[in-house]
Amino acid sequence: MVGIIFLILAGLALIIAELIFVPGTTFVGVIGLLLTIVGIFIVFDDYGNIAGYWTVGITGIVTVAAIIFSFKSASWDRFSLKSSIKSKVNDSDVYTFQVGEKGKTISDLKPIGKAEIFGKVYEVRSKGEWIGAGQEIQIIKIDHKRIFVEPIK
């Protein structure tokens, strides 16, 4: 009986972990669901229908209560991000550039990367092609604080 309870509780813990810690992966949630279902089937097989239905009902109630408590409780606040980034990429100086200005890539542009223009580092993007680090570039377009470049041939 202890093994069955462990299976069901481990399954419920994995389902809650899927919802809160690793949403979108579904692997943890599927394993949790399978453990819970196996535990319930063992109860039906070993103890009969009445015990099985009670187990399904109690498991459902515990699951709903645990999920509601998990989302309403403030215990998850210590895991959540409390700061936010206020800065923006290329916040200033973008409009001081003109098309045709030259610079040098610091990182690979795949198609976005970093380049040094007039001694400052900016995020730049190519037209879609890969440009290696250390290559001379030229600004071809400035659009809504985005700098588009191409390699100088």
Please indicate, yes or no, if residue 16 is contained in any of the structural domains. Answer: yes
Using alpha carbons, select from 93, 94, 59, 79 the residue that is nearest to residue 19. 79
b (16+ CB within 10 A) / e for 116-139: ebeeeebebbbeeeebeeeeebeb
Please indicate, yes or no, if residue 87 is contained in any of the structural domains. Answer: no
**How much is the pLDDT for 12?**
87
Structural domain count of the chain: 2
Who wins on pLDDT, 24 or 39?
Answer: 39
Verify that 67 and 13 share a domain, yes or no: yes
Please indicate, yes or no, if residue 70 is contained in any of the structural domains. Answer: yes
**How much is the pLDDT for 19?**
75
Please indicate, yes or no, if residue 71 is contained in any of the structural domains. Answer: yes
**pLDDT above 60 (res 38):** yes
Please indicate, yes or no, if residue 45 is contained in any of the structural domains. Answer: yes
121: containing domain:
94-151
